[in-house]
Amino acid sequence: MGESGEKLKQDTKRFVKSIFSRYYSKIARKFIEEPTRIASREFGFNLFDKGIVRHLSFRTKDELIEYLRRNNPSDCYYSSALYINPTASMDAKGWMGAELIFDIDADHIPTNCKVEHDRWLCLSCGCEGVGEAPDKCPNCGGDKLEQRVWFCEGCLIAAKREAMKLLDILSSDFGIREDTVNIYFSGHRGFHIHVSGEVEGLDQNARREIADYLLCVGLDPTIYLDRMIISKGVNGAKLRMIRALYDFISSTSIEGFSAIGLGRRGVEAIVNSRDRILEKVLEGEFDGIAREIGVANLRKLIAKVVEYLAVRIDPVVTLDTHRLIRLPGSLHGKTGFIKARVGSSMESLEDYDPLSEAMPFRNSDEQVKLYVHLSPRFRVGEEYFGPFKDEYVYLPLQPALLLLCKGVAYISS
């Protein structure tokens, strides 16, 4: 980058640090949530100048806020686990239990918008491309590729849809009460769901079973070709399958059925007898459906439904009984947005707009001059900005902070 480029990077880092300092000194107190039983939690931070520090503990929210004010971290974390000695080494902490955490991120969800805003860069030759990075650079064959991901309304809608599927299953299949659930926007590309209460005593094996159930690991579609009768006692994967199959058949177009490989006989049978087939779905008459549309077509339908049924959580987060998770109310170092509380219910999530409600500087009229290397069109609040490419721009503080945190822009003096 050269000497002048290095100065741009340092100036940008100092500016972002100053804005984060402004947040933690003047704004954070009303957003930072004190974790329950705070004295039993481990805390960790990524500091702008010192890197990662962890194995810290605080007795009160006031102590935590004072640490944030003095140290101004780029990212803040606390343990989902409760410990006897949270400042000790891992083998000496004394594990007492842990919240059940689910992380839903657009990274794990196929969306069409990724080819519009995600990019990759070969660190060996400088070759760039759009969408997901290939295994090797098509230009030089190198494997040192850097993925540069963005997030948009499409990403967040997809993540919200998965989070709502999760909340439904937690309630209907696991009987988890709403008052033990907390939903948060992660500050970047998705949502965190924290569950407390009785689940805190679950070991890693039990959490793996929950994750496998949500991801439909080992779910064999062929077992659902037998007759199944809906009754009050029917629940779990069987009921999920029937409900999802009903929704898919009732809402899919002719083109949609063809796209998943249904033959002509199956498509015509569904189009001509959709109501009758839906009745058979509700009654669990899979043998009758097979006679109407053909066994091979039914298998393809069910395989597609199993794909839909899977909730795209990050299983590593759910299994980890010692996980450090981002602190609610803190800023995300890659966006400058808040990890913000959404609520506890599906209704609160349905109406939530992260791009408007997780803005720490929504009321600022400050304008920032930037040099933007490359940015897609994006929304912050009610306004759209960009696309930008190799140009100087004046932007309000919040969208400017996003571009700076993303590493696609520099402060211009």
| pLDDT per position as a tens digit, 81-139 | 999 999 999 999 999 999 999 999 998 888 888 888 888 889 999 898 888 889 899 99
Q: Looking at the structure, do residues 87 and 207 belong to the same domain, yes or no?
A: yes
pTM: 0.88
Looking at 124, 148, 172, which one is the last position of a domain? 148
Domain-embedded: residue 241: yes
Q: Looking at the structure, do residues 297 and 178 belong to the same domain, yes or no?
A: no
Q: Looking at the structure, do residues 170 and 49 belong to the same domain, yes or no?
A: yes
Q: Which residues of 208-231 are buried (b: 16+ CB within 10 A; e: fewer)?
A: eebbebbbbeebebeebeeebeee
CB 377 within 8 A of CB 393: no
Model confidence at 316: pLDDT above 90? yes
pLDDT in tens, 366-396: 999 999 999 999 999 999 999 999 999 999 9
- Which sequence positions are flagged as catalytic? 103, 105, 314
Q: Which residues of 107-116 are buried (b: 16+ CB within 10 A; e: fewer)?
A: bbbebebbee
Secondary element (H or E) of residue 375: strand 367-375
- pLDDT score at 1: 47
* Whole-angstrom distance, CA of residue 66 vs CA of residue 73: 12
Q: Looking at the structure, do residues 49 and 91 belong to the same domain, yes or no?
A: yes
Q: Which residues of 119-155 are buried (b: 16+ CB within 10 A; e: fewer)?
A: bbbbeeeeeebeeebeeebeeeeeeebeeebbbbebb
pLDDT in tens, 31-51: 999 999 999 999 999 999 899
**Which range, 160-164, 227-231, 245-249, 308-312, has the best average confidence (pLDDT)?**
160-164
Domain count, the chain: 3
Adjacent-strand bridge partners of 394:
369
How remote is the C-alpha of 237 from its chain's centroid? 24
Domain-embedded: residue 184: yes
Domain-embedded: residue 22: no
| Residue 233's pLDDT band (cuts 50, 70, 90) | very low
Q: Looking at the structure, do residues 82 and 128 belong to the same domain, yes or no?
A: no
Contacts within 8 Å (CB) and 24+ apart, 140-146 = 145/120, 145/121, 146/120, 146/121, 146/122
CATH number for the domain that contains residue 167 = 3.90.920.10
Q: Looking at the structure, do residues 136 and 169 belong to the same domain, yes or no?
A: no
> Who's near 96: CB < 8 A, 6+ residues apart?
40, 81, 82, 83, 84
Domain enclosing residue 198, as ranges: 31-113+152-216+314-357
